[in-house]
Amino acid sequence: MIKAAVMGYGTIGSGVVEVLTENRDQVAKAAGQEIEVKYILDLRDFPDSPVADKIVHDFKQIEEDEEIRLVVETMGGLNPAYPFVKACLMAGKHVATSNKALVAAYGTELLEIARKHHVNFFFEASVGGGIPVIRPLYRCLKGEKIQEITGILNGTTNYILTKMEREGASFETVLREAQNLGYAERNPEADVEGHDTCRKIAILTAMATGRQVNFEEIYTEGITKITDCDFKYAQKMGTSIKLFGTSRIGEDGRVSAYVAPVMVGKNHPLYPVSDVFNGILVKGNMVGDTMFYGSGAGKLPTASAVVADLIEAAQNLDQNVEMGWGEEKQEILPMEQTSFRYFLRLAGSHRNKEQDVEKCFGQTEVIELYGMDEFGILTETMTEGEFKEACSRYEGLEKEKGEYGIKQTIRALV
């Protein structure tokens, strides 16, 4: 029997205990022996719970107990998760975490410590919740040159955008509703501003390239500026708007990566990924497109991924499994060099603006909605740098006439 400790008895931590209990035989068979939770570290007591006798408040008890070989970190945040995980690895214990903030910020160092101490630092649950995507990257797709990873990696924002699309509701209304239903956090900034997706695409990029990625170098834009009106245009164009985290890896190893709302056509593999679900498209140079779909968050799906990590650690109790990335830094190209088509909403009537639009943006498709004092255009493909220049030229022309210019811009993959 292998003894484990769970640090953090919140939603995911209690889910891990539930999966280990519910699937005890299945887990024992896969791991080669039973996994028993000996300690649960939490600030709180749970006097009426069946795990009441396992609750401890002092981390030292876990760190110093040599019987503990496996540790689950489901506390979230960086402090004390980072020092605790580091200490566990240094004490020769394997760690499985669901904490993407920890992996994105300290993954390089923790992976290195795990290698040195012949243990494992696993984090399948940190990206895509219950969707297996980390392990496929270092196992099934190991022989591939990964060319692109594009994901809908945040359930909260996907739920909000789906509701806005289906019900014609505003961002604020749907966010409030999502908070009342408990889907969105009271402080939803990390989700709606794209920070959560940014950390996840940084982790996936590091997995794909084998190099460390500084998530702060990834251009990140959230969904707070997307309006119900944008969806009216999208509907007319047969498209949808999704929050993408994307990483494109060139032949030369150079990477362009971004997080942003993107207008996508019906033929895009991620178009049908709706509600709280996540979807991840991974393109390999030999295999082509592969898609991973499922519950990107939630108690049992996320706990299931943590338990899979525990099983892999149990199967490799005395060795480090080769995975993750090294200390070499991955350069991320500036966003200015990334190319898209662009959807814009422009004030006024197309008839009056046609020449200025062509002068600045070249050939465009025009989209008009009935009864609106504005119109939409879809540009040809250009770099972000070229697009910014075109926008500032257009704003200049508008200003000369004392008129308002650009009401909205959304990158488009159509």
Return the active site residues. 200
C-alpha atoms less than 13 angstroms from C-alpha of 56 in its C-beta half-sphere: 16
Residue 191 touches ligand HSE, criterion: CB under 6 A: yes
Nearest distance from C-beta of residue 221 to ligand HSE, angstroms: 17
How are beta strands 219-220 and 121-122 bridged, if at all? Answer: unpaired
**How far, in Å, CA of 92 to CA of 77, rounded?**
23
Residue 155 touches ligand HSE, criterion: CB under 6 A: yes
- Tell me whether residue 196 or residue 398 sits nearer to ligand HSE (CB atom): 196
- Tell me whether residue 19 or residue 35 sits nearer to ligand HSE (CB atom): 19
Nearest distance from C-beta of residue 338 to ligand HSE, angstroms: 24
Stretch that binds ligand HSE, among 36-44, 150-158, 163-171, 250-258 (CB under 6 A): 150-158
Stretch that binds ligand HSE, among 42-50, 57-65, 153-161, 406-414 (CB under 6 A): 153-161
Residue 301 touches ligand HSE, criterion: CB under 6 A: no
- Tell me whether residue 13 or residue 284 sits nearer to ligand HSE (CB atom): 13
> Is 9 marked as binding a ligand?
yes
Asked whether 122 and 281 are in contact (CB, 8 A), the reply is no
Residue 364 touches ligand HSE, criterion: CB under 6 A: no
Residue 73 touches ligand HSE, criterion: CB under 6 A: no
Stretch that binds ligand HSE, among 25-33, 151-159, 219-227, 381-389 (CB under 6 A): 151-159
Asked whether 120 and 312 are in contact (CB, 8 A), the reply is yes
> Is 12 marked as binding a ligand?
yes
H or E stretch covering 341: strand 339-347
> Is 217 marked as binding a ligand?
no
H or E stretch covering 176: helix 171-180
Residue 297 touches ligand HSE, criterion: CB under 6 A: yes
Interface residue with ligand HSE, options 73, 196, 221, 309 (CB under 6 A): 196
How are beta strands 2-7 and 68-73 bridged, if at all? Answer: parallel
Asked whether 145 and 291 are in contact (CB, 8 A), the reply is no
Question: How many binding residues for ligand HSE (CB under 6 A)?
Answer: 8
Residue 129 touches ligand HSE, criterion: CB under 6 A: yes
> Is 404 marked as binding a ligand?
no
> Is 10 marked as binding a ligand?
yes
- Tell me whether residue 103 or residue 412 sits nearer to ligand HSE (CB atom): 103
**How far, in Å, CA of 409 to CA of 414, rounded?**
15
- Tell me whether residue 194 or residue 296 sits nearer to ligand HSE (CB atom): 296
> Is 14 marked as binding a ligand?
yes
Interface residue with ligand HSE, options 14, 156, 240, 304 (CB under 6 A): 156
Residues 105-124 as x/- pattern, contact with ligand HSE by CB under 6 A: --------------------
Which residues, in sequence order, are CB contacts of 372 under 8 Å at separation 6+? none
Phi, psi of 291 (to 5 degrees): -130, 135
User: What is the three-state SS of 31-100?
Assistant: HCCCEEEEEEECCCCCCCCCCHHHEECCHHHHHCCCCEEEEEECCCCCCCHHHHHHHHHHCCCEEEECCH
SS3 284: strand
Nearest distance from C-beta of residue 195 to ligand HSE, angstroms: 10
> Is 143 marked as binding a ligand?
no
Amino acid 69 reads R
The structure tokens listed for 244 are 């993408």
**How far, in Å, CA of 66 to CA of 222, rounded?**
45
H or E stretch covering 406: strand 406-413
Interface residue with ligand HSE, options 296, 301, 324, 405 (CB under 6 A): 296
- Tell me whether residue 8 or residue 296 sits nearer to ligand HSE (CB atom): 296
> Is 7 marked as binding a ligand?
yes
Reference 204, options 85, 104, 301; nearest CA is 104
DSSP 215-262: GGGSEE--STT--HHHHHHHHHTTEEEEEEEEEEE-TTS-EEEEEEEE
**How far, in Å, CA of 93 to CA of 86, rounded?**
10
Interface residue with ligand HSE, options 97, 150, 154, 212 (CB under 6 A): 154
**How far, in Å, CA of 22 to CA of 18, rounded?**
6
> Is 185 marked as binding a ligand?
yes
Annotated binding site for L-homoserine: 185
Interface residues with ligand HSE (CB under 6 A)?
A: 129, 154-156, 191, 196, 296-297
- Could you tell me which residues are annotated as the binding site for NADP(+)? 7-14
Binding residues: 7-14, 100, 185
